[in-house]
Amino acid sequence: MLYLRVPAHAAVGETAGAARLLSKAWATRVLNGCLRRLQRESTTLLAEVDRDPAVALLHPRWWVKAFRQAWPDDWRAICDANNQPGPMTLRVNRRHGDREMYLERLDSPGARLCPHAPDGLTLETPCDIAELPGFKEGHVSIQDEAAQLAAVLLGPVIAPRPGARVLDACCAPGGKAAHLLELFDIDLQAIDSDDARLARVEDTLARLGLSASLAHGDATERDWWDGTAFDAILLDAPCSGSGVIRRHPDIKRLRRPSDIAKLAELQARLLDNLWPCWHRVAPCSTPPARYCRRKTPTRSRPSSSAPQASRSPRRTALPGGDPPAPDASFCRVPTVTTASSMPD
């Protein structure tokens, strides 16, 4: 009635008829009553609905509350951005040339360099991957701009160590692991607790001509570990996923407030288990850490047990065009950028 060109009386009749076809004759009066009222009072009813931010912005109330507390000046823009489709972003494999060279090969109107990810290109108009030059040969991959920054942020730790031993602790579907291998000469071990998703990692690396030691493993346990310390660990820890809603809009409905405490507990278990040598955490959450932080402290983590570990205390909302500081965690808001927050 509101968005299609179907006449109102036809929309009402067809909807009531559908109820009867579904053997829900009892619902026809309710549907008729609601739709007829909407037809008569649409302006008043829609204005009343729009006064409720959760309804107007198509987000559950608890999400709106969390965003509003975290970003008092930007929460509406965040919700609006969540309701928009994300751009198609490419990651150029440096082993086959830089992104400027690939941009020329691409010859796509509107394609542009990503402002923060040094290997990223954004397409104004999405296309089939079969149309991307060199995709099958591993010259390019699909990966959101923010996700590409995970490998970049690890660079200062592993770049000075050729052959560094690196762990990707929750590696599926493999985008960040592949990017690490494209950028650095490292000995990468990648684990995941889902065999089907681990197979996707293997396929991704095979397409790109890269290799890593892949193993089924639960990062909350250590039965997969041979006891040799890692120079760096990338832990893309399970989280609320609030930063990737536009890629996965069902998150808004599937996630529950009670999930946050459970996720925080899982994150704490992962960090406790990997603490002997962990460096970065890559969450996909827009609200600050307190929304996925366990309220009780984790067990003591003595610094002597992890000489290479570091914690980034700063949370930085990067202005457009400024690269992230190597030692800074960051959170982007949609009034500044269109980069999604760390999906793979």
What's the chain's Rg over C-alpha atoms?
24
Which among 163, 179, 273, 272 has a CA at the least distance from the CA of 217? 273
The reply, when asked if residue 119 is annotated as ligand binding, is no
Measured CA distances, 44 to 49, 51, 181, 193 (Å):
9, 11, 58, 52
The reply, when asked if residue 322 is annotated as ligand binding, is no
Cβ-contact 102, 113 below 8 angstroms: no
Place of tokens 């040799």: 228
DSSP 293: -
The reply, when asked if residue 176 is annotated as ligand binding, is yes
Cβ-contact 188, 180 below 8 angstroms: yes
What single letter denotes the amino acid at residue 84? Q
User: Which residues are tagged catalytic?
Assistant: 292
The reply, when asked if residue 192 is annotated as ligand binding, is yes
The reply, when asked if residue 185 is annotated as ligand binding, is no
Q: Give the burial class of 103: count Cβ atoms within 10 A of its Cβ; 0-12 exposed, 13-18 middle, 19 or more buried.
A: middle
The reply, when asked if residue 218 is annotated as ligand binding, is yes
Q: Give the burial class of 273: count Cβ atoms within 10 A of its Cβ; 0-12 exposed, 13-18 middle, 19 or more buried.
A: middle
The reply, when asked if residue 74 is annotated as ligand binding, is no
Residue 149 is encoded by which pair of tokens? 């920054």
The reply, when asked if residue 236 is annotated as ligand binding, is yes
**Letter string b/e over residues 327-343, b meaning 16 or more CB atoms within 10 A of that residue's CB:** eebbbbbbebbbbbbbb
Residue 53 is encoded by which pair of tokens? 């931010």
**Annotated binding-site positions:** 170-176, 192, 218, 236
**Annotated binding-site positions for S-adenosyl-L-methionine:** 170-176, 192, 218, 236
